[in-house]
Amino acid sequence: MGKIKVVHYINQFFAGIGGEEKADIKPEVREEVIGPGMALNAEFKGEAEIVATVICGDSYFNENVEEAKAEILEMVKKYEPDLFIAGPAFNAGRYGVACATITAAVQSELGIPALTAMYEENPGVDMYRKDIYIVATKNSAAGMRDAVKKMAPLALKLAKGEEIGSPAAEHYHARGIRKNFFADKRGSARAVDMLIKKLKGEEFETEYPMPDFDRVEPNPAVKDITKATIALVTSGGIVPKGNPDHIESSSASKYGKYDIEGIEDLTSETHETAHGGYDPVYANEDADRVLPVDVLREMEKEGKIGKLHRYFYTTVGNGTAVKNAKAFGEEIGKELKEAGVDAVILTST
């Protein structure tokens, strides 16, 4: 076959159009190599070339999935490519979901080999890992070079119809698919070899990794809720109007702590949501829908709770790394404990 024709999909940020303020742009196609496509083209080493780049805003895609998908499929079909690549999306949640969704659609509806790439905690991985090949990347775009070096070889194999190796060999997220093969040693011998390495403190790799569940022992129930101090913590992104601490709408790197002393009700004039993963209209109209200050004030007046804690804590859960979320939780928990808070109400979106 001649040179492999590739159509590449990226979002508004990697296209150099803009950030969150341009996330609502509709799909468009350009017959040029843009952003990460330049690195991919170089890594193809002449075997493939990007003939067109499809661009779509993350908000537009995720808020208009069926329309966006249909528009992009028509754009891709026009170029009759041998291969479709989306991303890499790293840990950008909406971008990852968009990349995975359109990759799966191109593969299933157009019959074109396709792949994407993202970080293990991106929601797109769990949603689509069984349907498509998703190359494992680092947490942020700082890992672009590493991502491209892993994407290009696997993409070329897919386009050529070559046999794809294991997730470890080809650098993609495990898909939960099992294949029979003949090993050099029988299972019992391999198990003994691993056990010996373990006893010696040597490195070994299990053939069947077990899931790692984060188990948290629940605290005893509050003895007297009528005397308890209750705090509010949310991943729904509720912030004072204007988002003074600039909490990111996705992949949050920080959380906020805000004073609600004397505030009976959160209004559209005083509070809003910074969250980029759900329709903000109703939260912006009345932030109490996500952070129920009004109801807790009523319960406080009625003596159903002791009091509402003076501060609430907030961040955005959309695409936020588990590592960051755990760090936020530890810091917030320590502060609440030191402040004598008895119980916490956690709200999401």
Per-residue pLDDT tens listing for the chain (349 residues): 579 999 999 999 999 998 888 888 999 999 999 999 999 999 999 999 999 999 999 989 988 989 999 999 999 999 999 999 998 999 888 899 999 999 999 999 999 999 999 999 888 898 899 999 999 999 888 899 999 999 999 999 999 999 898 888 899 998 877 777 788 898 899 999 999 999 999 998 887 777 777 788 888 999 999 999 999 999 999 999 999 999 988 778 899 999 999 999 999 999 999 998 888 999 999 999 999 999 999 999 999 999 999 999 999 988 777 778 888 999 999 999 999 999 999 998 8
Is the bond into 292 cis (omega within 30 degrees of 0)? no
Largest CA distance in the chain: 78
Helix (H) or strand (E) holding 114: strand 114-118
Decide if domain 4-170 falls under CATH 3.40.50.2300.
yes
Token output for 102 = 């359109």
| Strand order across the 229-234 sheet | 256-259, 307-314, 229-234, 343-347
Range(s) for CATH 3.40.50.2300 in the chain?
Answer: 4-170
* pLDDT for position 1: 58
pLDDT for the residue 146: 94
Pairing type for strands 48-56 and 28-30 reads: antiparallel
The encoded tokens of residue 40 equal 């991919």
End-to-end alpha carbon distance in the chain: 50
From residue 181, how far is each of 35, 174, 191 by CA, in Å?
40, 17, 17
Structure tokens at 142: 């700082």
Task: Supply the pLDDT for residue 321.
Answer: 73
Query: Which residue in 97, 104, 81, 95 sits closest to 36, CA to CA?
Result: 95
Res 94: pLDDT: 86
Got the DSSP string for 194-241? HHHHHHHT-----SSPPP-----PPPPPPS-GGG-EEEEEESB-EEET
